[in-house]
Structure 1
């Protein structure tokens, strides 16, 4: 069983509505429009409700919250989880991403940058780096490596498919993983599960039980992040169109 140290989400059947995008990516970024670019534009100023002093536990799924509280109570586990987030394999993932993706900023793909900053503001968390990666597979994921700034990666095909609000829902979902420290706590849970397998006698049975609970937690963590997306988009119909 591999260590879980980052969270991802895929959308394979979104509602497509091109009318909410205009403008263009630099030539060569859009996988389906190499000569023309992917089009988008900034919508009217947001009127989203902001939630003062929003804490991650305010929107966590009950099972996600329960398991996180249990692990928080064990001294030193947080540091152990963060240490495992700096493994060589993850450093390789960071370097690969830097080399194959485009960093979004105020001056490059500014509309996407605005969506991320706005979502982070609503969720009361720091906006991570955002990268766009050319890929025909609609997907988005986040990675937080110890000692490095966390980042979110969105595939070009996902940008092409989604409306502005739907794309912001995806970004907010990934921000939910970061705000809740899912990378740390799910990694810790995975370490405990792997450790149980090394216990003689009943270790295998205990480990299998822990593994079942871990998969339930993973599902609850995704629901937590869907709640984060709803807090940002503030329109259930927009969010439901992604599933």
Structure 2
């Protein structure tokens, strides 16, 4: 990926520390500005509004000149998605609390994810909204998406998933060892099937509420999305017996 595979650097004669060359620092700055402009486009018109030519015009460039920094629209999208997952992961992991009841941990993680999405709705829609036509995300982005939900797994591993869903995710782990490995990494103790089933359920319920809120579907209604989130998390905790 452009900008991630190679960094031009020089070694100073005094510190022995590798530092970026002036040329590379300029390149990194321009790339960062391009990404900010792209995110602004997405924020205003959705992912479908992203246009390299439109971004180039903001910088007084031609479209082809922008390809010196990103090989294609998909290359730019991939980098935005990877950095977006890094951002939401930091928010979720910052809410991890050891030594507190499972239900309390569940609420803390869900609230962190919810607050991040409201603060950065354009990133939420880029990462979790309607797939971009013609764009095929690399495997790396799927791995990062699973990582964001990882902290939820040990919470549900302490409980017991409904039998029908548990049976389905057991089969899923048998068919896809990579998924089973992911569950074991984040939830080495407890019931792995209940952990995975809980991850699926919390993902669906959180995304349902947050997507409706981000899209403005709750406007004018006599309740807060936060109230729905708390009720849904309590409902899952009750269902899993945690």
Relative to the length of structure 2, the TM-score reads: 0.29
Higher normalized contact order (CA 8 Å, seq sep 6+, divided by chain length):
1
